[in-house]
Amino acid sequence: MLTRIRNWLDERFGLAELTAPLREKTVPIHSRSYWYFLGGITLFLFGIQVCTGILLLLYYRASASEAFESVQYIMTRVQFGWLVRSIHSWAANLMIFTAIAHMFSVLFLKAYRKPRELTWVSGMILLFLAMGFGFSGYLLPWNTLAFFATKVGTEIAGQVPFVGHQMMVFLRGGEEVTGATLTRFFGFHVAVLPGITTLLILLHVALIQRFGMSVPPDVEAKWKADPAQAREMHFFPNFLLRELMAWYIALGVLGALAALKPWDLGTKADPFAPAPAGIRPEWYFMFMFQTLKLIPAKIWFVDGELVGILVFGLAGLIWLLLPFFERERNGRSSRWILGLGVFALAYMASMTVYGYVAK
Amino acid sequence: MWRNKRFAVLWPFLGAALAVSAACAETPNSCVDCHSALDPPYKVTQDQFAQDIHAQKGLTCASCHGGDPTKDDQDAMSKKAGFRGHIDHKDVPALCGKCHSDAAYMRQFNPSLRTDQFSQYLTSVHGKLLAKGDTKVAVCTDCHGVHDLRPASDTRSKVHPLNVAQTCSRCHADAAYMKGYSIPTDQFAGYSASVHHEALAVRGDLSAPTCTTCHGNHGAAPPGVGTVQNVCATCHVFQAQLFASSPHKAAFEAASLPGCVTCHSNHRIAHPSDAMLGTGTQSVCTNCHTSGDAGYDAADKFHAQLAQLDTAVKTSDELLGRAESDGMEVSQPRLEQDQARDSLTKARVTIHSFNVARVDQDIQAGLKIAGKTHQEGEAALRERDYRRKGLAWSVVAIVLVLIGLRLYIRQIESGGKI
Amino acid sequence: MANEPISEVQSGRRRVVELFLGGGLLASFLSFVYPVIRYLVPPPVADLGGDEVVAAKVGELKANGSKIFRFGSRPGLLLLNAAGDYIALSATCTHLSCTVQYRADLHQVWCACHNGLYDLNGRNIAGPPPRPLEAFQVHIRGDEIVVSRKRGA
């Protein structure tokens, strides 16, 4: 039956010819091959987000007076609504986690080096987009914590010199966080960001297909010296089947999280109530938030928070353009980047933990 | 510079400024001119007097003290000008009353102001003692202030509801001052610890009682032993009605016990607790009732009933809390719990009938609701378990797939051999 | 795939693999699809209960009668006055949050806790309550009495 469909398509589209490169595609196998799964898992989780997101769209209402109630409705009245919503919330966090892990694995395995610089750049932009998804999606249930987290977050954006205030007004849809902000964030979350992300994912995957999988420098050297040592695996079906296993494990983890640790709903946001104690951003912003809290009010004659924002902005820019800083293979710049990567990972991890442990 | 022809153009402006300021200057008030420079108790400044409601309505020093503020020095304070000098303590109420009891006069300023303050004052303990020659008692100026007297609605006024207790306590909490009078001086301390003070000062509920609410303000006198419950009944209607129909009313009257105050105290009214009932150490019932009499048994029953409903409500709360922390949405039963708590409140009010059957009605109504919410809580937990079972099944399916994939991979990679 | 003939044992093993894989895939697929299908079917009660709710059915209340209904997370009071109009007010007393009730004898809304009184517009007219009760809009839709929050100024 499948053969008959395949032949029908082949006669018209030259299917065999089109899929030939896919059938030829191989994945290098070495001690660190397991890290190759992270990208696929991130893509899979994005797919989950799109599916659960579309399902949520069937019942969610994006106005300040109905948003909270509609999420409550999904959690209590809609059949398996609790499952869809909790999976969406958990997968969001998992996706950002795997995206960050994927980024660091690419960094430490040096997969960003020539000719894959643009793959890195597109990937970094995707990471920023993922965090944008997280920030915009967080507000949508319109609960107290999200409302104030958005207030603080957009306030920080407003501190950027020259364009800060316009940026903040653009994000908020006004001077304050109101129902207009909710509508705007909803538009970003379900239309603008998905559109840009889809295009970038296509670019990112196309680039990967073009260049094939990168191999760490030491393995590359070993295999160049002795080609017989090189091991490869067919992507289709062998690697894909293993990838499928990883995806199924992710599904199991998501289901367990949704059923055993469902996502909280909180209380409806009241713009006139004072901010409750312990307002925190989501964990992926925590390291920046905690850093800003620790910076003294004034550094020299410059406002402390402004210094923090500028430093993070600069760090983001450097990170985006990282491959272009590596001058030669295994040279000084290469070791600098490795050191920077270790420092960044350690800093982010410790600041995140600190942010949760500190009062 | 001023002789320079070019600046001559400024002269008319300077002249005009002087003329305008002269015209705007207040009518000469020699009283304040001198007295603002004196030491207390003669010191009265313009700033101070500007805050006074009388000054704002157009009255002057002369309105009460006589004299002529347009003259200087001793002419202003001459007998010919009608100067009265310092008003004696005992003469203050009559002086204030001269205007404030004149309805026709007061109508010009504020038609809705009462004009019976002076006549009320004469019926008060302060008024009666003053008439007998006691000058230690409070007169108008002691509570309302003088020279910077503000209306009672002004939060800075000494007789604004939030400040009344403080004002009364200036004398009534001063043990040395109150020596010689046969009343205690712990009222302010007691009131400050009371639930009424908390409502007023902490919650800002201006409808909560302060000293004058129960004692009266101008006609201040403690409510008599037989009439205390009328005072409490102004707000606590239900309790008073139930009490009036209970056996305690006649019994208390016969024993000259002061109604509500007997169990709840008068100033140090604490938030009532269920421990006030029953036969425990904090019970007020055992002050009169002893083991064996009907009242003792009833007290026991009341305590048991309230404890039963309280426990039922708390159990449901705890169950719903557990369901909530496990991710179940229980806002509907939570709302019904509010109704159960309302029943408990109602039962605590019905206690004042001291009728076991009557109280039982409210208890049963509350237990019914608490029972329902308990069931809903258990249903929520069952739903949670159903979800976990569903999860377990899907995990089994996933594990099957994982094993299958593993085997399949091995199969195709070892050339058909596994 | 191998072209050599496979032994009985191996074909048996292949069966086992097929069973695990095929059965597992089917089972897991069903466990994903089943909730989604159920999710797509809208629940019987379509209203969110936040800004609008069906408080009662026509004919449920007698003349001069009242009912407490749930509105969002707070109780509401629906009453039928002498003129035959439905009136809906918040049932949470503005003094200390006790639940108020309709007094048919007084034609007013009363709070038993501290003797607070409100008129049928929700205005606090006697006793400690500092603010009026929020008044809601009432529409009759078919045989349903729908209560919603007032919009606009």
Supply the CATH number for residue A80's domain: 1.20.810.10
User: Which phi and psi (to 5°) does residue A326 adopt?
Assistant: -85, 110
According to the model, what pLDDT value does residue B24 have?
A: 43
pLDDT band at residue B317, thresholds of 50, 70 and 90? very high
pLDDT of A230 reads: 84
Query: Per the omega criterion (within 30 degrees of 0), is the bond before A21 cis?
Result: no
How close, in Å, is residue C35 to chain A by CA atoms? 6
pLDDT of C24 reads: 85
pLDDT at A359 (0 to 100)? 62
Instruction: Please provide the average confidence, as pLDDT, over all residues in chain B.
Output: 87
- Which chain C residues touch A79 with a CB distance below 8 Å? 35, 38-39, 41, 43
Is the same domain home to B228 and B217? Answer: no
ipTM > 0.90 for the complex: no
Fold of the C52-148 domain:
Rieske Iron-sulfur Protein (2.102.10)
Range of the domain at A203: 27-216+233-272
Q: Given A76, A241, A259, which is nearest B388 (Cβ)?
A: A259
Most trustworthy range by pLDDT among A143-147, A196-200, B177-181, C101-105: A196-200
Task: Collect all residues of chain B within an 8 Å Cβ-Cβ radius of residue C8.
Answer: none
Classify residue A32: in a domain, yes or no: yes
Q: Given A61, A72, A79, which is nearest C38 (Cβ)?
A: A79
Considering the domain boundaries, does residue A33 fall inside one?
yes
Q: How far apart are the first and last CA of chain A?
A: 64
Which comes out higher in pLDDT, residue B82 or A179?
Answer: A179
| Amino acid B47: pLDDT | 87
A190 within some domain: yes
Residue A140 has pLDDT above 50, yes or no: yes
Q: What percent of chain C has pLDDT over 70?
A: 91
Neighbours of chain A (3+ CB pairs under 8 A): B, C
The answer on B154 and B184 residing in a single domain is yes
Residue A8: inside a domain, yes or no?
no
Q: Is residue B418 situated within a structural domain?
A: no
Is the same domain home to B125 and B200? yes
Same domain flag for B216 and B235: no
Same domain, B104 and B218: yes
Q: Among residues 57-76 of chain A, which lie with CB inside 8 Å of chain B? A: 72, 75-76
User: Would you call A265 and B399 a contact, using CB atoms and an 8 Å cutoff?
Assistant: no
Residue A123 banded pLDDT, cuts 50, 70, 90:
very high
How far off is chain A from C25, nearest CA to CA, in Å?
10
* C21: closest chain B residue by CA: B404
Residue C1 pLDDT greater than 50, yes or no: no
The range of the structural domain enclosing residue B49 comes to 26-86
B23: pLDDT confidence band, cut at 50, 70 and 90? Answer: very low
The conformation of residue A302, written as its DSSP 8-state character, comes to: E
| Closest C-alpha among A43, A27, A21, A75 to residue A212 | A27
In chain C, helix, strand, coil percent, each to 5? 20, 35, 45
Q: How far is CA B169 from CA A135, B62, B183, B189, B211, in A?
A: 57, 32, 13, 9, 10
pLDDT for B17 beyond 80: no
Contact A70, A60 (CB under 8 A): yes
The residue whose two tokens read 């300023």 is B109
Q: Of C111, C113, C117, C124, which to mutate for an interface test with B (greatest number of B Cβ within 10 Å)?
A: C113
Mean pLDDT confidence for A149-175: 91
Residue B416 zone, left/alpha/beta (φ > 0; ψ -120 to 50; rest):
left
Confidence of residue A146 (pLDDT cuts 50, 70, 90): very high
Q: Which of A139-143, B99-103, B322-326, C46-50 has the lowest mean pLDDT?
A: C46-50
Question: Of C32, C35, C50, which has the smallest distance from its Cβ to A65's Cβ?
Answer: C50
CB contact under 8 A, B416 and C23: no
pLDDT at B269: 93
* For range A226-234, the mean pLDDT: 86
Touching check for C31 and chain B: CB below 8 Å? yes
If asked whether residues B50 and B145 sit together in one domain, one would say: no
| Per-residue pLDDT at C153 | 39
Contacts of B116 (CB under 8 A, 6+ apart): B101, B218
Whether the per-residue pLDDT at C48 is higher than 90: the answer is: no
If asked whether residues B107 and B187 sit together in one domain, one would say yes
Q: Phi, psi at residue B291, to the nearest 5°?
A: -55, 130
Contact C64, C48 (CB under 8 A): no
Give me the pLDDT at residue B11, please: 66
3-class secondary structure, C87: strand
**How many distinct structural domains can be found in chain B?**
4
Contact A129, A297 (CB under 8 A): no
Q: In chain C, what are the domain boundaries? A: 1-41, 52-148
Chain B residues whose beta carbon lies within 8 Å of the beta carbon of residue A86? 327
Q: Is there a domain that residue A107 lies in? A: yes
Alpha carbon distances (Å) from B68 to A275, B50, B96, B149, B364: 60, 19, 20, 22, 77
- Last-in-domain residue among B67, B86, B105: B86
* Predicted confidence (pLDDT) per residue in B373-414, tens digit: 999 999 999 988 888 888 888 888 888 889 888 888 888 887
Contact assignment for B397 to C27 by CB distance below 8 Å:
yes
Any chains having at least 3 CB pairs less than 8 A from chain B are A, C
Considering the domain architecture, whether residues B154 and B189 belong to the same structural domain is answered as yes
Whether the pLDDT of residue B18 is over 50: the answer is: yes
Report the residue of B320, B324, B335, B401 to disrupt the A interface, i.e. the one with the largest count of A CBs within 10 Å.
Answer: B401
The answer to whether residue B277 is domain-embedded is no
Q: Are B362 and B350 in contact (CB under 8 A)?
A: yes
Give the closest residue to A152 by CA, choosing from A264, A293, A272. Answer: A293
Alpha helices in chain A, H assignment, sequence order: 2-13, 15-24, 37-57, 67-76, 81-108, 117-139, 144-157, 164-172, 179-187, 193-211, 217-225, 240-260, 283-294, 304-320, 332-357
Return the pLDDT at A300. Answer: 82
Residue B45 has a pLDDT of 87
Asked if A240 has any chain B CB less than 8 Å from its own CB, the reply is no
B399 contacts in chain A (CB < 8 Å): 252
Phi, then psi, of A183 in degrees rounded to 5: -60, -45
Write the pLDDT tens digit of every residue in A43-70.
999 999 999 999 999 999 998 888 998 9
**Cis peptide bond N-terminal to A237, omega within 30:** yes
A74: helix, coil or strand? helix
What is the total count of domains within chain A? Answer: 1
Residues A101-107 have a mean pLDDT of: 95
- C23 and B408 within 8 Å at the Cβ level: the answer is no
* pLDDT attached to residue A56: 97
CB nearest to C10's CB, from B345, B397, B417? B417
By the 8 A CB rule, do A102 and A40 touch? no
Please state the rounded mean pLDDT for residues C129-151: 87
Closest CA–CA distance from residue A102 to any residue of chain C (Å): 27
Query: What share of chain C in percent tops pLDDT 90?
Result: 28
pTM for this structure?
Answer: 0.70
Rounded to a whole number of angstroms, the distance from the CA of A111 to the nearest CA of chain B is: 27
